[in-house]
Chains A and B, each alone.
Chain A
Amino acid sequence: MPRQKFILNGKKVTIKVPDDVRLLWVLRDLLGVTGPKYGCGINVCKACTSHINGKAFNPCAVPVGKLKPTDEITTIEGLPKTVKKKQRGKHGLHPMQEAWLERDVAQCGYCQPGQIMAAVAVVKRARRQGRKVTEADFEGIRNICRCGTYTRIREAIVEGEKRM
């Protein structure tokens, strides 16, 4: 069986698993990293949103064999360490997570790791384009929340953007 190598939340990972197993299952079922959630398995609900080399992606739609040993995968568990210590908030978390806590966004919480990872990527994308997050950015976030927390998600993104 092939050995898969990549970097997960700052640590090198080597694991024996067939190339075609999607990364989501490698994370959840084999490595026990359960922050990214299953909601559809077809890159629609976005509950598993994580980052690859700093950009948002959905591990349910990536065969693990497509990863390079230098690819850096960040899940919600590794998000705080992507910012410097002094940038972390009073819970020691990424500014976006802190904003989420302040706005008390989560209800059932199932989609929220994915929402937060998407939010960070949306803010970073806007920064790369030299602008602030807009209404169009909000409307382009496909992550579904069946509890309907959308308004608080928007408020938290605005707050998180200020702190990032």
Chain B
Amino acid sequence: MTEPAAATGVGRRRFLGYVVGGATLVVAADLGLSPARAGALPAALPTIPQPAELFDLNDFLTLCAMPTANLIAIQLHKDGTASFALPRAEVGQGITTSTAMIIAEELDLPVNKVKVTLAPARPELMFNQLTGGSNTTISTFTPIRVAAAIAKNELLKAASLLLGQPINLLVSKLGVIEAPDGRSVTYGELAEKAASPVTRPVDVTLADSGFTVIGKPTNRVDALAAVTGKKTFTTDLKVKGALPTMVCRAPTLNGTPAKVNNLTKVRRMKGVTDVVMVDFGVAVRAKTFGQCIDAIRALDVTWADGPVAGESDADVLARLRKSEIPLKLPDLPDNPLLKTKSLDLTFYFRSNSAMDTNSAIADVRKDSATVWSGLKSPVTLQSEVAGYLKLPVGKVKVNVMQSGGSFGRRLFSDGAMEAVKISQAMGKPVKLMWHRADDARAGRTHPMATNRTQVAMLGKEVLAFTQAHTSVETDFRHGLGEAITANVASLPTGLGNLGFSETVFLLTQEIPYNVGVVLQTLVETEQRFNTGSMRNIFSPDMRVGSELMMDLLAQELGEDRLEFRLRRIRNKMVRGVLEKVASEGDWGRKLPAGVAQGVAIHKEYKGATACLMEVDTRPTTVKRKVRDAVTGPRVTRATFAVDVGLPINPTGLKAQMLGGINDGIALAFTSSLHLRNGHFQEASWDNYFYTRQWNTPPRVDIHVMPASTSEPGGAGEAGVAASFAAAACGYAAATGKVPTHFPINHHKPLAFREKPRVPPVPPSPTNGLKHTY
């Protein structure tokens, strides 16, 4: 589709798109359009490029789109606005805003005149309607620009006829086209005149520079709706007859109901309309969610144990240890001066529960079904629902709602599939909402893992760096796994025969330092847990292991931790961000005993990040009291730098990095799930301690590097790995001890009393008026 356009000179490329027949101007481009991927790094590097450097997960996700010739369309309206249904999910990451900006840029329209909605499941898009891997902007940038640029050309053509002036004398600005004599016409007036009765291909040229909207800090297009309470999430949506519905779940993880012993009594409770047993629990539908909670608490259910009944963290860890393969360093010359350094870390289960719990509205009829939910893989859900209900795919409508966060969870459609099953069983529409306790306990987790690193050194030279990640299986059966199966032949040599996880692992992992021969491996153990990615997949844990090791090596050699890294970096982007945080964050400044800096980098999503944190571990800080809070070490200052190639919206990009910083702090210090006797103990935000105001750094500075390429990289997950690693390194430096596990407080006595497992949800308090302020 793309061809070099010699006539247009350097930095301009020609693409093919379409004007689509319609009443107003509709333009389209193939979503499979993508720039050729960047060439490989120079070969003359001491560390041989790892697979992820030559062809990474984002290349794979972009490649998945290639065979599907499917169009994304922008429509111009008589009111002067343009609309676009984005085949991705907005979960807070800001893609509706950045997409509106990209369209505004090419179309010369104000951002607020571009209306971006979320497309319902489009089965013809197959693997190209998956929101994951921070890939949205990477994969949609070019096709959206092509469509918008065609729209502007067509508007110019129509204006030329109307104003009787040649196109090259017309000027378009903010939705108005002006002739040299001062006469003008608006896009709204042209929307019908530029319409085409038939669909026809056209070509268009894109420039790689001279942007005025792209790169300009822009506030979110949905901010007004968010601050006025008008933003509509799934549970805010009104669908006729879809009454509040919740599920009573088993006291062990993935346990199943055997018998309901008081069905009649619960069915008669106030407000309750339906109670049915389904394969994953007992579903209750009522006039209010409060009455659902009352009914769940009243249910007497006989349960069959889940697959991890009786097990605790230690059992899972023991199994992980058994699965570990011996760490292998390459054959090295036999030299008595050869030294090795090892590091062995354990990462406990972590919850990717979002604020907006798993929720979905489902209306299953005899011959059709409609679903509304925050879904990152709507096409996968659509086919699952069709299969379950034995309906043709075309009879299943899947609407993608705005979500209150995802963090990996909405790659799966757990709530939506349950809602479909319940609606079918009750024969009524349902609005299913998971209770927070379930969302934390039974929802998906980032799997528990061990991470071992070993390094061989000779004098000041690092000869080999090996890192082995042994993990409970990460579930990729949400569309990405299927995409890998379907595209095996396209993967680089050697990757095709691996499992989903190993493929993703190799497509995402690399060590951007010159540290001799690098070998990174993944072994997975078991599938009994509900897992998934969690704002990034393997990288945060892997990066903590490798960056702590870099600190150990620097210490061994008596070198400054920053200098040690800078001398070994073999990537320009990474060097740039590391130098930036070092200067902006005052690397090396004098700090009291017990307070120290930690610095770390990460390279993924076509970009690079670096984070410098100051960690205060002094007893007065660690033991500070906040009511019902987990306090502990405090990151007092965080400095972050990000290079995403071409930044689309620096304001949104900084927001994503800020989230990554708070995620990293939580992962390092306070947030984990404890498996005890067959279930997770955390059932509330005051059990599972994601970073709160009392732990967030009082000072945060985030720097967006100027455009370093002509293509945007990913943002949503990019901030976590370097932040987690910087917090870990800072803590180790401040205490003089390298932690053995994360989060560091996992083995401390629980900061809460575990909520009962029967009934599975706690009652709502009644004393709220005693706590006003």
Contact = CB atoms under 8 A, between A and B. Distances in A.
A40 B684 contact: yes
A122 to B, nearest CB: 8
Given A32-B238, A110-B404, A150-B662, A144 B223 contact: no
Given A57-B772, A91-B224, A144 B690 contact: yes
B436 interface: yes
Contacts of B227: 76, 93, 97, 100-101, 105-106, 109, 112-113, 116
Contacts of B769: 52, 57, 62, 66
A15 to B, nearest CB: 11
A109 B356 CA distance: 10
A38 interface: yes
B405 A146 contact: yes
A41 B436 contact: yes
B121 to A, nearest CB: 21
A84 to B, nearest CB: 18
Given A75-B229, A108-B91, A57 B768 contact: yes
A109 B287 CA distance: 26
B762 A148 contact: no
Nearest to A115: B227
Nearest to B687: A44
Give the size range of B's interface with the partner.
35 or more
A83 interface: no
B768 to A, nearest CB: 3
B220 A104 contact: yes
Contacts of A104: 219-220, 223, 651-652, 655
Interface stretch (B137-145, B197-205, B693-701): B693-701
Nearest to A145: B355
B771 A61 contact: yes
Contacts of A125: 773
Contacts of A121: 773
Contacts of A18: 270-271
Contact of A34 (B229, B288, B658): B229
A144 B233 CA distance: 18
Contacts of A24: 290
B218 to A, nearest CB: 8
B768 A21 contact: no
A140 B769 CA distance: 18
B559 interface: no
Interface in B677-702: 684-686, 690-694, 696-698, 700
B435 interface: yes
A163 B468 CA distance: 54
Interface in A124-155: 125, 135, 138-154
A30 interface: yes
Contacts of A112: 226-227
Contacts of B433: 38
Contact of A60 (B220, B651, B764, B772): B764
Interface string A38-66: 11111111010000100111111111001
B45 interface: no
Contact of A109 (B92, B693, B700): B92
B405 A108 contact: yes
B626 A140 contact: yes
Contact of B655 (A29, A93, A152): A152
Interface centre among A36, A38, A101, A121 (most CB of B within 10 A): A38
B166 to A, nearest CB: 41
A125 B662 CA distance: 27
A21 B286 CA distance: 12
Interface in B570-611: none
A151 B700 contact: yes
Interface string B396-430: 00000011110100000000000000000000000
B663 interface: yes
B639 to A, nearest CB: 12
Contacts of A144: 355, 685, 690, 692
Interface centre among A35, A42, A148 (most CB of B within 10 A): A148
Contacts of A116: 227
A101 B223 contact: yes
B696 A150 contact: yes
A71 to B, nearest CB: 9
A73 to B, nearest CB: 11
Contact of A22 (B222, B407, B764): B764
A150 to B, nearest CB: 4
A146 B433 CA distance: 18
A107 interface: yes
Q: Is the interface of B mostly helix, strand, loop or mixed?
A: loop
B287 A29 contact: yes
B35 interface: no
B744 interface: no
A6 interface: no
A43 B771 contact: yes
A76 B766 CA distance: 22
Contacts of B223: 100-101, 104-106, 109
Interface in B355-371: 355-357
B765 interface: yes
Nearest to B292: A25
A147 B663 CA distance: 8
Given A61-B767, A112-B226, A29 B244 contact: yes
Contacts of B626: 139-140
Contacts of A111: 355, 404
Given A29-B288, A61-B765, A146 B219 contact: no
Nearest to B768: A61
Given A91-B224, A104-B220, A29 B771 contact: no
A55 to B, nearest CB: 4
A64 B174 CA distance: 51
Given A44-B685, A121-B773, A146-B407, A106 B91 contact: no
Interface in A77-95: 77, 91, 93
Given A29-B244, A32-B238, A62-B769, A42 B661 contact: no
Nearest to A111: B355
Interface string A1-29: 00000000000000001101111111011
B228 A97 contact: yes
Nearest to A36: B229
Contacts of B700: 151
A52 B405 CA distance: 28
Interface string B635-659: 0000000000000000110011011
Contacts of A17: 288
A132 B81 CA distance: 44
Contact of B690 (A93, A110, A146, A151): A146
B94 interface: yes
Contacts of B686: 44
A107 B557 CA distance: 43
A158 to B, nearest CB: 12
A57 B232 CA distance: 23
Interface string B214-256: 0000011011111111111101101000001000000000000
Interface string B343-358: 0000000000111110
27 contacts: A17-B288, A22-B290, A35-B229, A41-B289, A43-B768, A44-B685, A66-B766, A66-B769, A101-B219, A104-B219, A106-B220, A108-B404, A109-B226, A109-B404, A110-B233, A112-B226, A139-B626, A139-B694, A140-B626, A142-B693, A144-B355, A146-B353, A146-B355, A146-B407, A150-B696, A151-B697, A154-B693
Given A35-B229, A108-B402, 19 more contacts: A20-B766, A22-B764, A23-B768, A34-B235, A35-B228, A40-B684, A60-B765, A60-B768, A107-B659, A109-B92, A109-B223, A109-B227, A110-B233, A112-B226, A139-B693, A140-B626, A140-B693, A144-B355, A152-B655
Interface of B: 91-94, 219-220, 222-233, 235-236, 238, 244, 270-271, 287-291, 293-294, 353-357, 402-405, 407, 433, 435-436, 626, 651-652, 655-656, 658-663, 684-686, 690-694, 696-698, 700, 761-769, 771-773
Which 3 pairs between the two chains have the least Cβ-Cβ distance? A35-B229, A108-B92, A110-B404
